[in-house]
Structure formats: C-alpha cells, structure tokens
Amino acid sequence: VAKGAGKNQWRRYQAHLHNEMVERLELRSALDHAVNEGHFLLHYQPIVDLAAGTPVGFEALVRWHHPKRGVITPDQFIEVAEESGLIVPMGRWVLEEALRTVAEWRRILPPELAPYVSVNVSVRQFRENGFVDQVRNALQHTGVPPQGLMLEITETMLVKDDEQVWTNLATLRDLGIRIAIDDFGTGYSSLGYLRQRPIDVVKIDKTFIDDMITSHQPLALVTGIVSLAQSLGLIVVAEGIESPTHRELLVRMGCPFGQGYLFSSPLGPTEVLAWMRGVQPIAV
C-alpha cells in the first residue's frame, strides 16, 4: 500500500512540474507576442515632497494588457521577462513611452511644476552596449532634458564588479540623468560603498517603512539610513507610505521625498493631470 501511495505522489508531482513548465512556456510565448504587438501600458505613481505634500515626479510602472487575464502587474510577468531576455525590448518601449508622456506633461504644466519621470531599468538593459545611445536618442527626440529623467536599478541586481553596468551608469549620470538605487536595504550594499559609485538617489524599500510603525528597531534603522545617506550627499525617497503616521515619522527624521498609497496608487496617464490639479498641499 505504502509503495503504491508513493508512486501516486510521485506521479502527481511529475504532473505538477509538467503543468508548471507548460504554463511558463505559454507565458513566455504570450509575452513575446505582447512585445511584438505592443500590449503594454504604463501607470504612474506620484513621488512627493513629503513635508509640502506636492508632487516632484512620477514613477513609471509597466502593466501588461493580457488577452485573457486583463491588465496584470509585473509580479506576474517580470521574472519571465528577465529570464527570456524579453525585458530588453519591453524596457526599450517603457523608456520611450515614459519620456513621450512626461514630455507632454512638461509642455502643459508651468515650468516650476514640471515633473520628472523615474523609469525602472533591468540590469540586462544597463549591460547592453547600445543602452546609453538609446537613452540619449530618446531624450533628444522627445525633448525631455536629462534632469527630467531618473533611472532606477534594483539593489539586489547590482553586482560589484559588473564594470559594464557601472560604466554605463557613470556615462548616463554625466549626461545629467539621475540614478536611483531601488529597494535599498534588500541587498547587501552599504551606503559608504554606494557613495563611491555613480548614484544620486536611494529608495528605501517599503518593507522597512511597513515595519517602522510596529517596532523600534526598524524605526531606528530608517532614521539611520536617512541621516547617513544625506550626510553622504545622497537624496532619499521612501517607498510604500500608506498612512499619515508613516509620513509624519519620515518628515520628523528629515526624509525629503516619498511615494505610496497615502498620496496615490499608480495612475493611468490621463488621470495624472487631473490628480495634479486636485492636490491640495497639506504641509505637516
């Protein structure tokens, strides 16, 4: 009996593996199709001056208009996009689209309100030889100045001796584009190390912000990151601000910028201008 049960379990396990593989292959081929047909869209989340409550920029976040599942978020496809290399052509579209959109906002809004756009870039894109030219060209034909663009690279994707990546980051930064380390705190880089690298901004990962309210240790940790980063000349952005308490704590510790559902969830491009008109600066 025991032997038979084991055999059944093994079969079920095999079937499970098989299904998972088929699902991944299907996702990959659907993604390939989406890249060729342009089935992506961008949502934009405001990044605000925390004390004033006013927007300074927007983070572009990709969505896939999936034929069966509707509009889906990156947690459902970024991994496959990375593995398959499809992140490269998808990322090229994201950059172009984000710049076209922010160019329009910058034309409509008065110069003192002109926002920047922050674009997530995969390390695979930074590793490409033509990436710097691609960015330079996109800025040129959309008419966005380099100060209107920020590029985010996830901390855990950074490899210390990936010199191609660091060289490209340095060249982009020399053009006047700001470089941000995304999800800071989830990897092992120290701020002292980052200071020697071509980086302007650190975005503190939302897990630290979440935990800040419930215990003292994360609160002390975030306070430490904010003050050390600023003393090293880095700009700090806090992610995942969901409550007024989060915001107050961050303002009190001198954190200048942040984003999160408290201010707004990611918005469709046409919702952004309406949102901007509606923002009442409520200083804390």
Q: What is the torsional sign of CA 255, 260, 264, 268?
A: positive
Segment lying near ligand C2E (by CB under 6 A), choices 31-39, 143-151, 214-222, 255-263: 255-263
Exactly one of 90, 125, 135, 152 binds Mg ion (CB under 5 A); that residue is 152
Q: How many residues bind ligand C2E (CB under 6 A)?
A: 24
**Binding of ligand C2E by 74 (CB under 6 A):** yes
Applying the rule CB under 6 A, the residues between 198 and 217 that interact with ligand C2E are 206
- How far apart are alpha carbons 262 and 279 in whole angstroms? 12
Distances (CA, A) of 280 to 94, 102, 124, 256, 276: 30, 21, 40, 18, 9
Applying the rule CB under 6 A, the residues between 171 and 190 that interact with ligand C2E are 182-183
Residue nearer to ligand C2E on the CB measure, 6 or 74: 74
Exactly one of 185, 258, 260, 269 binds ligand C2E (CB under 6 A); that residue is 260
Exactly one of 45, 101, 168, 189 binds ligand C2E (CB under 6 A); that residue is 45
Instruction: Tell which residue, 262, 205, 202, 258, has the closest CA to residue 227.
Output: 202
Sort 180 into a burial class: Cβ within 10 Å, 0-12 / 13-18 / 19+: buried
**Binding of ligand C2E by 55 (CB under 6 A):** no
- How far apart are alpha carbons 76 and 133 in whole angstroms? 30
Six token digits for residue 261: 């559902």
- Asked if residues 149 and 121 have their Cβ atoms less than 8 Å apart, the reply is no
Segment lying near ligand C2E (by CB under 6 A), choices 11-19, 172-180, 259-267, 274-282: 259-267
Exactly one of 34, 80, 86, 94 binds ligand C2E (CB under 6 A); that residue is 94
Six token digits for residue 148: 């209107």
Residue 171 CB neighbours (<10 A): 16
The binding site for ligand C2E (CB under 6 A) comprises: 45, 61-62, 73-75, 78, 87, 91, 94, 120, 122, 154, 182-183, 206, 239-242, 259-261, 266
The binding site for Mg ion (CB under 5 A) comprises: 120, 152, 182-183, 239
